[in-house]
Amino acid sequence: MNSICRAWDRWVHGLRFDLVVSPGINRLDAETVLRAMGVLRELPFHVIAAGDDSPESFRETAKSLGISERCRFEPSREDVLDFHAAADLYVSPTGENSFGLPIAEAMACGLPVITSMHAGVANSIRDGMDGFILSQFDDFQKLARMFQRLRADEAMRRNAGDAAAKAAHQWSWDRNAADVWELLKEAAGKKLPPTARRP
């Protein structure tokens, strides 16, 4: 996604901030992101959050943190490319996720991503290279520090986004199925008694 396309999408969406954070709307993700934003009220961050959960509780949290004017809540849609095009960073510090397809989609679009170690996709992310991983999904102080670092270092954002796109394009269902099959064979081998195992 080049800077011209991003600038156009921001103009269309009425965004004038130099860093846009895009979490999915769910209780765990949005709460952590909003609290991190609250720590950084002096910096020009803007949130676009898209999802199916009601945003009312998040609006209350944003209001209490003094960041309501920087938060935009949108219903989910199949085509999220325009949201990604307007963003510099995708954040999903999830506490429960089987794989994290939205994270993989954002990476494929060339966005640097922040997630937590609980996301299944975190196993495929090289922390600090093609993405960034929180050890605790609700650690908003550390998330705020990540925001500061990535905002200050445009080259880091660009390099992480480029690496994320390359990594995501290497993933496939066939490769994922093969990896799962190897894990299942390994688990089965550990459960079998020694006499039942093949040499």
Segment holding 90, helix H or strand E: strand 89-92
Residue range 168-188, pLDDT digits in tens: 888 765 566 666 666 677 767
Span 3-171 CATH architecture: 3-Layer(aba) Sandwich (3.40)
Give the separation between CA 154 and CA 196, rounded to whole angstroms: 56
Residue range 134-165, pLDDT digits in tens: 999 889 999 999 999 998 898 999 999 999 99
pTM tops 0.85, yes or no = no
Bin 66: left if φ > 0, else alpha if -120 < ψ < 50, else beta: left
Domain boundaries, the chain: 3-171
The residue among 161, 21, 17, 6 whose CA lies nearest residue 90 is 21
The residue among 141, 48, 128, 143 whose CA lies nearest residue 88 is 48
The 3-state secondary structure of 17-84 reads CCEEEECECCHHHHHHHHHHHHHCCCCCEEEEEEECCCCHHHHHHHHHHCCHHHEEEEECCCCCHHHH
Residue range 48-103, pLDDT digits in tens: 887 777 778 888 989 999 999 888 887 777 767 777 777 888 888 877 666 677 88
Q: Per the structure block, which two tokens stand in for 70?
A: 């920087």
Q: What is the mean pLDDT of the chain?
A: 78
Q: Are 74 and 49 in contact (CB under 8 A)?
A: yes
Helix, coil or strand: residue 96: coil
